[in-house]
Amino acid sequence: MIEQKERGILLYNKISSDNNLYVKILTSKDEIISGLIFGGSSKKKKNIYQNGYFLNIIIKKRNVNFPNSISAELTQPFYYSIFNDKYKLHCLLATISLLNISIIEGQKVNGLFNLSEKIIQNISNSEKWIIDYFLYLFNLLKLIGYDIDFKKNLSQNYFNLDSLQFEDSYNTESIIFPHLLLNKEKQINKKNADSFFQIFEIILQNHHLNNMNLNIPINYFKFKKLILDYLSIKNEKYN
């Protein structure tokens, strides 16, 4: 039997049979592993295996024909404050859902774990985290092969959603790029936040997920709606 120890983020869990859980975990080695946690949905263990939790895990594999057998315990960072803030909670769920579909098991994406750990800690500890989260999503795109190098294109105000290139002038395929927002030179509002969401969604869905017959997860759209609704109310209040 092969046994290995890892640290990881729980991305997905589902009851497979009786009290057993099928799980997917992003490890600190930037890979997704899956396996069974026997008794993982029991009253004693279910609070450990929540999506988004950081875990120290032990993976056992009898042979190539058997699924991994996984056991785990909670580890730092602990971020209970997130669960008392609906915006942070929905952001965490969106992040985990996006990670779950962005790479496949067996694929290695260097830097993905550290990038995700840092933004989760930022969301937990900071009061002003939304722009950092937007930057995280662009960095996620970069890691999976879609580098939107906006810092080298500050003079070009438009972004072509078809060619994924920056442009000087507007056309029917382009959108105003939120340079000032991402450079933290302008406060977030509904218009520039919505522009960011549109760019991110077009790139992820049309140029990545379509290749795998997948769709952007519902948790992402719930988070987006929550943010845009908040900004709409805020903008009306101060206008």
Q: What is the pLDDT of residues 135-163, one digit of tens each?
A: 999 999 999 999 999 999 999 999 999 99
CATH 3.20.20.210 describes domain 2-74: no
Could you state, in order of their start, the residue ranges of all structural domains in the chain?
2-74, 80-238
- Predicted pLDDT at 238: 46
Q: From CA 14, how far away is CA 36, in angstroms rounded?
A: 10
pTM above 0.75, yes or no: yes
What is the residue-averaged pLDDT of the chain? Answer: 91
Q: What's the DSSP call for residue 169?
A: S
What CATH number should be reported for the domain whose range is 80-238?
1.20.1440
DSSP codes joined into one string, 49-82: --TT-EEEEEEEES-TTSPPEEEEEE-SPP-GGG
Residue written as tokens 């969106």?
94
Q: What is the pLDDT of residues 49-106, one digit of tens each?
A: 999 999 999 998 877 777 889 999 999 888 878 988 999 999 999 999 999 999 888 8
- Predicted pLDDT at 237: 55
Per-residue pLDDT at 239 exceeds 50: no
Using CA atoms of 83, 80, 219, 194 in order, give the dihedral in degrees to the nearest 10.
Answer: 80
In one letter, which amino acid is 14? K
Q: From CA 165, how far away is CA 169, in angstroms rounded?
A: 12
